[in-house]
Structure 1
Amino acid sequence: MNTIDTVASSALPTGAGGQFDPAPLLLRVRDLQHHYPLPRTRLLGPRARVAALQGVSFDIRAGRSLGVVGESGSGKSTLARLVMALDTPSGGTVELLGRDLHRLPARELRAARRDFQMVFQDPYGSLDPRQTVERIVTEPLQALDSATGAELRERAAEVLAQVGLRPGDALKYPHEFSGGQRQRIAIARALITRPRLIVADEPVSALDLSVQAQVLNLLADLQEQFGVTYLLISHDLAVVQHLCDEVLVLHQGRIVERGAPEDLFSAPRHPYTQALVASVPRIDAL
């Protein structure tokens, strides 16, 4: 079957290839829907709405990486914002560690954010230019903890070292860094709460190709070292193939195909996936 709108139930946890996966379930998304209102065309009557997501369901197990690919407008970034509980879904559930994030009281949701953080697309726009790196990196902790200034400085130095920056960089400002270094700062900010899940929305699309490889290798190393789980949103098939265990193809708000990246991209079944794969430039075709 080419179109996949639901996740088949199973007595055993399975990976992308249908084999037994012993890792515990971390994120469970079921029948996720989101509709945006369109501008009014008349004074009276209900506003028309457009469906950005239509019944999206998937699981991610601890320590794994799930990629979501699709062209602009397919619903990828909407999905990321709903998983992060930044927007409210029109229907469906997002359960992290068994808790439905969209039904948690505000105070409990703030506390739960320790377990899930986000890396945004633009390393130039996602960092406040008026704040030092130390302030930027420790911002998630300041909202969660009652840590002292000395403890925050220690944690900042620790996490900057983990992403390949120097402790002294904590006193600098974003404009003093390259794009790749800024994205490392954004990753450090996401890591500082020691989250279980990181949602990365096009984390390397604004970077040069050589820098993209460095950031992707960093993400892979951090996963190996800390067991962090990734939900990676991207339009770039090579990016998800490098990092992800499983890939979902999103088209017009629906999952149309899923599987291991090597299988999905070598023998795509759905016409939309076939078109995505065919659009990737090949050296032998140039």
Structure 2
Amino acid sequence: MSAPLLEVTDLVRHYELPREKLFGPPPLVKALNGVSFSVQPGRSMGIVGESGSGKSTIARLVMALDRPTAGSVKLEGRDLHALPRAELRAARRDVQMVFQDPYGSLDPRQTVARIVAEPLEALDETSRGEQRERAGASLAAVGLRASDLDKYPHEFSGGQRQRIAIARALITRPKLIVADEPVSALDVSVQAQVLNLMQDLQQQFGVSYLLISHDLAVVNHLCDEVCVLHRGLVVERGAPQQLFAHAEHPYTQALLASVPRAEPPTRRHGAE
């Protein structure tokens, strides 16, 4: 097996709350308590759990938007939280994020061209003309048109807005995309379209995904492996079909019991 693209080792994140008493230690929220997993190049890892399980904390730590209390996040062997600021900025080319809310994550005052080109502008390595050209190519990759570049987010449906968000994440040609509940705000019919698009982009560009979700059916559609997160710990992991058929931990069994569909959507034929 090749070296992992992303390697998360013994990740801990505790948050201090305001003191309830004048003396004594502040109360702690133990969001993560020693989480480890890896993502191989061109593959997809799902992190599934209920609200408050620590899923979004993992996303923030992998994106280096927050610092761990202990443990490490390595991208191609480099500890992201130990990199000097300039090197971390350059590393962001290789890891991008798609957020949950397609309505709130796009600046309504910016054109689509500026929104999609934002990661390139942050890297400050390309001209405005090249940024626009690459934004058009990125839109085309997600099934939108170059003529959409001068429009604003309110002119698009929720599914189209999430395609714009994916185009923004794709523009630097990252090796890893962290997708935090990327379809939970969309209608079920649109969810399948967006997940199929993400699958197509993986096959076309070889990108890896870290998919954060509360929905086992969504994770099953896209991911090669799943970690079930409960109270900041990985309680079970394996291939999605294996977890659906042979869940061992009571928490995984409870998640499965909460899925309203008797048969979850499966990965499309031909997807590896």
Taking structure 1 as the reference length, what is the TM-score of the superposition?
A: 0.90
- Aligned equivalents of 2:254 and 2:127: distance in 1? 53
SS at match of 2:67: coil
Unaligned runs of 5+ in 1: 1-12, 14-22
Q: 1:229-268 CA distances to partner (integer Å, 9 max, x unpaired)?
A: 0000000111010000000000000000000000001110
Unaligned runs of 5+ in 2: 264-272
What letter matches 2:15 in structure 1?
Y
Match 1:200 to one of 162, 171, 179: 179
Match 1:274 to one of 239, 242, 253: 253
Taking structure 2 as the reference length, what is the TM-score of the superposition?
A: 0.95
- Aligned equivalents of 2:259 and 2:18: distance in 1? 35
- Aligned equivalents of 1:212 and 1:130: distance in 2? 26
The residue aligned with 1:93 is 72
- Alignment of 1:226 with 2:208, yes or no, is no
CA gap 1:61/1:283 in 2 versus in 1, 3 angstroms: closer
SS at match of 2:124: coil
Report the CA distance between 1:146 and its aligned residue.
Answer: 2.9
Q: In angstroms, what is the RMSD of aligned CA positions?
A: 1.1
- Aligned equivalents of 1:281 and 1:203: distance in 2? 19
What letter matches 1:213 in structure 2?
A
Report the CA distance between 1:43 and its aligned residue.
Answer: 2.1
- Aligned equivalents of 1:156 and 1:24: distance in 2? 31
Match 1:45 to one of 10, 24, 34: 24
Match 1:59 to one of 35, 38, 63: 38
- Aligned equivalents of 2:87 and 2:115: distance in 1? 23
- Alignment of 1:214 with 2:193, yes or no, is yes
The residue aligned with 2:111 is 132
The residue aligned with 2:266 is none
Q: 1:14-73 CA distances to partner (integer Å, 9 max, x unpaired)?
A: xxxxxxxxx441001100000011222112332111210000001111000000100111
Match 2:128 to one of 133, 138, 149: 149
SS at match of 1:257: strand
The residue aligned with 1:71 is 50
- Aligned equivalents of 2:69 and 2:125: distance in 1? 35
Q: 1:63-113 CA distances to partner (integer Å, 9 max, x unpaired)?
A: 000001001110000011001100000000000011000000111100110
Identity of aligned residues (%): 73
